Amino acid sequence: MHTVVQLYIKPRTLHHHGILGLALTLNRRSPRKVEKFISHSWGGRFEDFVATVSGNMVPETNVFICSFALPQNADVGAILSSNLQETPFARAHVSASDVLLVIDRDIEVIERVWVVYELYLSMLHNKHVRFGLNKNMGSNFRKAIMDKVDALHVRRTKATKDSDLQAIMKEIEGQEDELSEAIRFKLTEMVHNLNFLIPCQHSH
């Protein structure tokens, strides 16, 4: 996603002093209401990300993907300096009917502070969260997810920008242990429901 933003999104959103994201640039005459919120890591292969999203919902779905929605030529940090729950991405999260958590091959997504915060918002607003998985993942992938889930704690999460990490940690200050436990439980429950990843038992 970092490469896509630099080579594709930024050059196409230079108009209007760079204050519009790609989604609004393309849909300016007819803005669309967010239906699904996509929570993901920027570090995975973009092709895998597209395949996973398109394989988990119908093409007509209006999705919120931060890199496409937020103005990448503007100082996004200034947007985040205010109350996080009043930021465009948080408002989009409220508007969405549910959340798709895209799991990349390295499962890095579970270690990202933004993803943890989006899971926090999901629990706060009682949003349904489901995994977005690439259909080529094997049965061992379930155990790999659980290994990441077991090790999750919000104090060990990462962000590309330290300012993002500090803003989110400030927002959840005093709730770190409780929130970590709640997110681990939520993700464990979701993994438990991934019945299609359980190898079939063949009778002989």
Q: Which residues contact 56 (CB under 8 A, 6 or more apart)?
A: 100, 130, 132, 133
Q: Does any domain span residue 203?
A: no
The CATH number assigned to the domain holding 153 equals: 3.40.50
pTM of the complete model: 0.88
Q: What's the pLDDT score for residue 7? A: 96
Residue 198 has pLDDT above 60, yes or no: no
- Angle at alpha carbon of residue 54, lines to 154 and 52, rounded to 5°: 45
Best CA proximity match to 39, nearest among 137, 108, 142: 108
Contact 110, 145 (CB under 8 A): yes
- Please state the domain count of the chain: 1
Give CA 90 to chain center in angstroms. Answer: 12
Q: Does any domain span residue 202?
A: no
Mean pLDDT of the chain: 88
Q: The tokens of 48 are what?
A: 């895998």
Q: Does any domain span residue 145?
A: yes
